Amino acid sequence: MELLAEIGPWGAVATVAGIYAIFAMGLQVQVGHGGVDNFGQVAFFLIGAYASTILVEQHGMGLVAGTLAGMAIAMVAAVIVALPTLRLRGDFLAITTLAFGEILRNVAVNERGLTKGSAGIDAFTFRIDIVRELRRSLRDQDILVDRLAPLLILTWVLVLVVALVTWLLLRTPWGRVLRAVREDDAAVRALGKNAFAYRAQAMALGAAWAALAGTLYAWNQVHFSPSGFEPIVTFAGFVIIIAAGLGTIWGTVLMAILIQGVLIEGSRYWLDTGLPNAQEASLRYMVVGLALMLIVRFRPQGLFGSRAEMAAADE
Amino acid sequence: MDELAQAVLNSLTAGSLYALAAVGLTLVYGVLRLTNFAHGDMLTLGAYVGYAINVQWNLPLALAFVAAPVVVAAFAVGTEYVVWRPLRRAGAGLLQKLLMAIGLALFLRYAIQFVWGGDRDFYEIDNTATIAWVRDAFDLTLGFYDLLTIVISLVVLVGVALLLARTLLGTSMRALSDDVDLAESSGVDTDRTVVWTWALSGALVGLAGVLAGATINVYPTLGWDLLLTIFACVIVGGIGSAYGALLGSYVIAFSQEFLVLVVDDQRYKTTIGFVIMVLVLLVRPQGILGSKRAVN
Amino acid sequence: MSEPLLQVDGITKRFGGLTAVDDVGFSLEPGTITALIGPNGAGKSTLFHCVSGFIRPDGGTVRFNGRGVSRRSAHGRAQLGMVRTFQIPTAFNRLTVFENVELAARDQPADRLVGALVPGLGRLRRSAIRTRTNDLLETFGLADKADDLAGELSGGQRKLLEFARVLMTEPQLLLLDEPLAGVNPALGERLFAHVNRLRSDHGMTFLFVEHDIRTVMDHSDRVLVMAQGALIADGDPETVRRDPAVVEAYLGGGE
Ligand SMILES: Nc1ncnc2c1ncn2[C@@H]1O[C@H](COP(=O)(O)OP(=O)(O)OP(=O)(O)O)[C@@H](O)[C@H]1O
Ligand SMILES: [Mg+2]
C-alpha cells in the first residue's frame, strides 16, 4: 500500500503554507482581534525555532516538551515586550516591535555559543529519529510513505487545531471582551476590566502560535540560520491576514495557502518566466509588495472581512 | 585615548550620514503624520543611481551627487501622486498607512534587486584614501569619503535649516507640522507643500544613499538595514522635528561608537541604536526636541 | 458619624498653564444623589477623570469605602464598585446591543483567558447574566434592539446603553457624566425613576453632571457647583440656586 509515497514538490510547498497559516493565525489574534499592530511577529517565530531546537538537540528534551517549552518562552517574551510597548501609540508600537525582531536576529547571529551564529543550527531529531522509525515500521507493514509526508500531515493537523482553538476562544466571553478592548479601551476599563491584560494576552497567544510555527519551520528545514528570520516573514504574515480580512480565521488559512503556498513558494513550479532564478525570486516579492499595496488601497477589508474591521484597527 | 579620538571621528561620519537620511524622514512625518517605512529603500535607490553612473556608465561619481537626489526626489513625489494622496483621500487609517509603506518598501527593494542583482557592489573609487594631515597630525584615520560625508551633510543641512526658517515653503511645512487645520485655514497650500516635502525628503535621502554607497558599499538591503537606526535618530531627537533629527543622529552615532567600545563587540552597534530608541520611547516618547503634540 | 462612601480631597489637575481642577474636595454619603453643575469648561469632566482614575491628578487623594484608592488603576477602582460613564457615550460598535451589556457583568469565569480555555465553565453564571441583561434592556427600552449592532444606535440610545452597561457591573457608586444629553425627555424621566429605585432598593449612590437646571432641581438631594476649576458652592438645590456666587458664575462666566 502507498500512503503519500511520493508527495512531490507541491507536498513541500503545502508544508510551508501550513507553517505560515499557523504563523499568520497568531498575527490575526494580535492585529485582527487584539488591535496590537505587532510588526515583530518573526521574533516569536525565531524564539520557537531556536528554543525548541536548542532544548531538544542540545539538552535532550523530548520533541513535544521542547515544542511546548518554545511556545511558553515565546509567551513570556511577548508579555515582557507588551509591558512597556503596548502603551505606545500605533506607529511607535510598530517600530519598536520591528526593532525587537531585529534585535533578536542580531543576538542569534552574534551569540554563537548558543545559536552557532550565521553558520546555522541543526534540528534533525524529528526528520531522523521519528520519521525514519515511522517509515521503517510502516514499511514492515508494506506501507510506503514519503519522508516529507509525516511533517506535512502533522503540520496540517496542527493548522486545524490552531484554527479551531482560536476560533472557539474568540467566541468565548474572553474573545468578546478582547474585541471590545480593540474598539474602546477606556470603556472597558470603566467596567472594571483590565484592558491592558487582554491585549497582553492576545499578544501572548499570538506569540505561542508563532513559536509553534517556528518549531515546525525548524523541523522542516532541518538546518536553519538567522537569515530565515528577517522582517519579511512578518510582512508575509501581514499580507496573508490583510488579504484574508482582519479578524477572519478560516480566511487566514485559505490565504496562507494561496499567498505563501501558491504564490511565494509554488510559483517556481507553475510560472516560467524564463528569467534566472534570482531575478524570478525578486519578481515574486515585487508582486507581494504590489499586492499588499493594492489590497490596502482598494480592498482594505480583504477578501472575507468587513470594512469596519480595518477602520476599527485604528484606535 | 587614540581609540576614543577615533571613535569621535567615526561618530561624526556616521552621524552626518544618519542626519541626511533622518531629516527627510522626520519632515515627512511632521507634515503628513506618515511613518515612511520605504525611506530606507529610497536610500538604496540613491546608492544604486550612484552605481549606475559610476560603474555601469563609467562616469565620475560626482555626477551622482546631483543625479541621485533628483531621481529619488522624483520617485518620492511620484509616490505622493500614485500612492499617498489617493490613500489619504480614501480616509485611510494608521494600519493602512503603515502597511502601504511596507508594501512600497518591499516593492522598491525587490525592484532594485531585480535590476541590479543581490550582490554587494563597490563604486569604482578609492575608498581607502585617507586624509593625510589628519593621519600625520593626530595619527587618526579619516577617509576621504568620510570627510566628504561630514562636509556635504553640514552644508546641505545648513541649507535645509535656512529653507525651513526663511522661505515660504519652510514656513508652510512648519505650519503643517504644527497644526494641519490651523495651517489650512490660514491659507497654506497643503498639496503643494506636501509635494515639496516629498521632494526634499527624497533628495536628502538620495544624497545619503550615494554617500552610504561610497563609505559602506552597495547592496539591496543597504537602506533597510539603516532604516531602524534612522528611526532611532528621528525618535530620540523628537519625531517631526528637523533639528531633533539632526541632534538625534549625532546622539545615536556617538552612543553606538562609544558603547560599542564598552560592549567590545562591533556587531552590536545596530542593536545599541535600537535599545536607545526603545528606552527613549518609554521614558520620553516626544524625544529630546519634539513637541508633545506630535506624538498625541 | 459613619465614614462617607467617597471622600475626595484637594484634587488638582493642570494642563500646561491651565488649572482645570483646582483643589477640589467633597464627600458623598451612601444612598445619596448629588448633582455636579457648572458652566462649560468648569472642570467637571476632568474631576470625574481624576476621581475614577482615568487621569492622574497633580495632587489630592481619593478614598472609597474607607480605603485609599489614589494609586489604583481605573479598572481597579471600577472593580471596587466605583463606576463611571463618559460625556461622549461609548459603545462597542461592532458588538450587538445585547453583548454590550452582557460583557459588563463581573465574575464571569470565561471572560478570563484561563477560564475561557475550560469548556463549559461558568455556564450557570452565564444564564443568570443573560436574564439580567434582558431585564436591563427592557428597563431602558432597548429590548427590541437587542440584536442590532451598537453602532446603529442613536446618540440618546447610546447613552441609555451605556447606563445599562454600567449597571450590569452592580456598582455602589455611579459617576454619570451628562447622562441625559441627547436622551428624549420621556426616557430621561424613566432613567431617573430608575436611579431613584436603585437608591431606595439597593442604597446606591449617584453623582451626576447635568446642565439642565430643572432636572437638577427635581432629582438631586444636593448640588455641587464648579467654576473655573474650583468648587464654589455645595448645598441643597434651593440654597445653591439662590447663591449669588453661583448666579455670578453662570451669568458672568461668559458662557
Ligand atoms: N486633555 C486636555 N488637555 C488640555 N486641556 C484640557 C484637557 N481636557 C480638558 N482640558 C481643559 O480643561 C478645562 C476643563 O474641561 P472639562 O472637560 O473638565 O470641563 P467640563 O466642566 O466638563 O465642561 P463641559 O460642561 O463642556 O463638559 C477646559 O478648559 C478644557 O479645555
Ligand atoms: Mg464635561
Place of cell 490575526: A28
The finding on whether C15 has its CB within 6 A of some atom of ligand 1 is yes
* Per-residue pLDDT, C8: 95
Distance from the A118 Cα atom to the nearest Cα atom in chain C, whole angstroms: 38
CA distances from residue A16 to A128, A159, A236, C65, C205 in whole angstroms, order as listed? 19, 11, 12, 58, 60
Compute, in degrees rounded to 10, the torsion defined by CA atoms A122, A126, A131, A137. 130
Rounded Cα distance between C161 and C89, Å, is 9
Residues of chain C with CATH 3.40.50.300: 6-90+172-252
C-alpha to C-alpha distance for A247 and A183, rounded to whole angstroms: 13
Taking the Cβ of residue B284 and every Cβ of chain A, the question of whether any pair is shorter than 8 Å is answered with no
Which CATH number applies to C6-90+172-252: 3.40.50.300, 3.40.50.10490, 1.10.3720.10, 2.50.20.10?
A: 3.40.50.300
Neighbors of chain A with 3 or more C-beta pairs under 8 Å: B, C
> Is C83 in contact with A312 (Cβ distance < 8 A)?
no
Sign of CA dihedral A168, A250, A80, B93: negative
Residue A19's identity, in one-letter code, is I
Shortest CA gap C78–chain A (Å) = 4
**Residue that wins the pLDDT comparison between B59 and B293:** B59
3-state secondary structure string across A219-280: HHHCEECHHHHCHHHHHHHHHHHHHHCCCCCHHHHHHHHHHHHHHHHCHHHHCCCCCCHHHH
**Residue A254 domain flag:** no
The rounded Å distance from CA B186 to ligand 2 centre is: 29
CA angle, residues B124, B127, B132, in degrees to nearest 5: 135
Which residues in B lie closer than 8 A to residue A283 (C-beta atoms)?
110, 114
Confidence class for position B293, pLDDT limits 50, 70, 90: low
Grid cell 509591558 is found at A83
Is pLDDT of B124 > 80?
yes
Of A91, A96, A285, the CB nearest to B110: A285
The pLDDT assigned to C254 comes to 45
Average pLDDT, chain B: 90
Atom of ligand 1 nearest to the CA of C49: 18
> Which amino acid residue places its CA nearest to atom 11 of ligand 1?
C20
Report pLDDT for C21: 94
Across B142-153, average pLDDT: 90
Minimum CA–CA partner of A176 in chain C = C103
> How far away is chain A from the Cα of C243, in angstroms, using its nearest Cα?
35
Question: Lowest-pLDDT range, A31-35, A236-240, B159-163, B283-287?
Answer: B283-287
Q: How far is B56 from chain A (nearest CA, A)?
A: 19
The x, y and z cell numbers of residue B98, run together, are 503603515
Q: Is the CB of C39 under 6 A from ligand 1?
A: no
Helix A90-110 / helix B222-237 crossing angle, nearest 10 deg = 130
User: What is the amino acid identity at position B263?
Assistant: V
Tell me whether residues B95 and A282 touch, CB distance under 8 A: no
The pLDDT tens digits for C113-166 are 877 877 777 777 788 889 999 999 998 889 999 998 988 888 888 888 999 999
| Distance from Cα C20 to the centre of ligand 1, integer Å | 6
Quickly state the pLDDT bin for C255 (edges 50, 70, 90): very low
Confirm if A167 and A249 have CB atoms less than 8 A apart. yes
If we measure between CA atoms, which residue out of A149, A270, A160, A277 comes closest to residue A220? A149
What region does C6 belong to: left with phi over 0, alpha with psi -120 to 50, or beta?
A: beta
In this prediction the ipTM stands at 0.91
Three cell numbers, residue C182: 441627547
- The pLDDT assigned to C251 comes to 67
Residue B119: other Cβ atoms inside 10 A: 11
Lowest mean pLDDT among A192-201, A271-280, B100-109: A271-280
pLDDT at C1: 53
d(CA C35, CA C220): 6
Mean pLDDT of B11-40: 94
Largest Cα separation within chain B, whole Å, is: 61
Beta pairing partners, A234: none
| Helix, strand or coil, per DSSP, at residue B70 | helix
Cell of B83: 500612492
Asked whether C51 lines ligand 1 (CB < 6 A), one says no
B1 touches A: beta carbon within 8 Å: no
Average of pLDDT values for B163-185?
86
For residue C87 and ligand 1, the question of a CB distance below 6 A is answered with: yes
CB pairs under 8 A between A and C: 95
Q: Which of A75, A165, A191 to mutate to test the interface with C (most CBs of C within 10 A)?
A: A191
Helix, strand or coil, per DSSP, at residue B33: coil
Question: What does A34-69 look like in DSSP terms, one character per residue?
Answer: T----S-THHHHHHHHHHHHIIIIIH---HHHHHHH
pLDDT tens track for B229-248: 999 999 998 888 888 899 99
Q: Which residues contact A15 (CB under 8 A, 6 or more apart)?
A: A148, A151, A152, A155, A216, A220
Q: To which residue does cell 470594512 refer? A: A307
B265 chain-A contacts, CB cut-off 8 A: 110
C1 burial level (CB within 10 Å; 0-12, 13-18, 19+): exposed
CB-nearest partner of C78 from A173, A174, A191: A191
Q: Does B102 touch chain A (CB under 8 A)?
A: yes
Q: Are B18 and B86 in contact (CB under 8 A)?
A: no
Within a 10 A sphere around the Cβ of A137, how many other Cβ atoms? Answer: 10
Average pLDDT over residues B33-55: 96
* Calpha distance A52→A123 (Å, rounded): 9
CA of C217 to the centre of ligand 2 (A): 19
Cβ C46 under 6 angstroms from ligand 1: yes
Write out the H or E segment, with its range, that includes residue A309.
helix A307-312
Range of the domain at A92: 9-231
CB contact under 8 A, B277 and A282: no
Is B169 in the A-facing interface, judged by CB distances under 8 Å?
A: no
**A204 belongs to a structural domain:** yes
Split at pLDDT 50, 70, 90, the class of A206 is very high
pLDDT digits (tens, 9 = 90+) for A134-146: 888 888 888 887 8
> What percentage of chain A has pLDDT greater than the value 70?
95
Calculate the alpha carbon distances from B111 to A282, B269, C246 in Å. 7, 29, 70
Residue B28, sorted as left (phi over 0), alpha (psi -120 to 50) or beta, turns out to be alpha
pLDDT digits (tens, 9 = 90+) for B192-225: 999 999 999 999 999 999 999 999 899 999 999 9
User: Residue A122: beta bridge partners?
Assistant: A223
Residue B103 pLDDT greater than 60, yes or no: yes
Contact residues for C73 (Cβ-Cβ < 8 A; gap 6+): A189, A194, C53
Q: Is C224 in the pocket of ligand 1 (CB under 6 A)?
A: no
Contact B270 A102 (CB under 8 A): yes
**Which residues of chain A lie closer than 8 angstroms to B95, CB-CB?**
31, 37, 90, 310, 313-314
Residue with more model confidence, B291 or A156: A156
Q: Which of C196, C189, C194 has the alpha carbon at shortest distance from C214?
A: C189
Q: Is the pLDDT of residue C253 over 60?
A: no
Which of C26, C86, C23 shows the shortest CA–CA distance to C54? C86
Residue contact B93–A313, C-beta within 8 A: yes
Express as a percent the part of chain B with pLDDT over 70.
98
Q: What's the predicted TM-score (pTM) here?
A: 0.91
Cβ of A190 and C115 within 8 Å?
no
**Is residue C191 predicted with pLDDT exceeding 50?**
yes
Instruction: Taking each helix axis as running N to C, give the angle between helix A90-110 and helix A231-244, from 0 to 180 degrees, rounded to the nearest 10.
Output: 140
**Ligand sitting nearest the alpha carbon of C229:** 1
Number of residues assigned to chain C = 255
Please count the structural domains in chain A: 1
Cβ distance C113 to A177 less than 8 Å, yes or no, reads: no
pLDDT of A231 above 70: yes
Q: Do A195 and C75 touch (CB under 8 A)?
A: yes
In the predicted model, what is the mean pLDDT of residues A198-212?
Answer: 96
C242 or B293, which is more confident: C242
pLDDT in tens, A85-95: 888 888 899 99
Q: What is the pLDDT of residue C198?
A: 92
Between strands C6-15 and C222-227, the pairing is unpaired
**Which of A89, A92, A259, A288 to substitute to test the interface with B, most B CBs within 10 Å?**
A92
Give the containing element (helix H, strand E) for B250: helix B242-263
Residue A4 is classified by DSSP as S
CA–CA separation, A252 and A17 (whole Å): 11
pLDDT digits over C198-251, tens only? 999 999 999 999 988 888 888 899 999 999 999 998 999 888 888 888 888 776
Query: Could A189 and C83 be called an inter-chain contact, meaning their C-beta atoms sit closer than 8 Å?
Result: no
Q: How far is the CA of C229 from the centre of ligand 1 (A)?
A: 9
Could you tell me which of C104, C135, C109, C98 has the C-alpha nearest to residue A190?
A: C104
What gap in Å lies between CA A62 and CA A201, rounded to an integer? 27
Q: What is the pLDDT of residues A218-230, one digit of tens each?
A: 999 999 999 999 9
Extract long-range pairs of B170-177: CB within 8 Å, 24+ residues apart. B173/B27, B173/B30, B173/B31, B173/B197, B176/B30, B176/B31, B177/B27, B177/B30, B177/B31, B177/B240, B177/B294
Read off the pLDDT band of A315 (50, 70, 90).
Answer: very low
Indicate which residue's Cα is closest to atom 22 of ligand 1: C45
Indicate whether A240 belongs to any domain: no
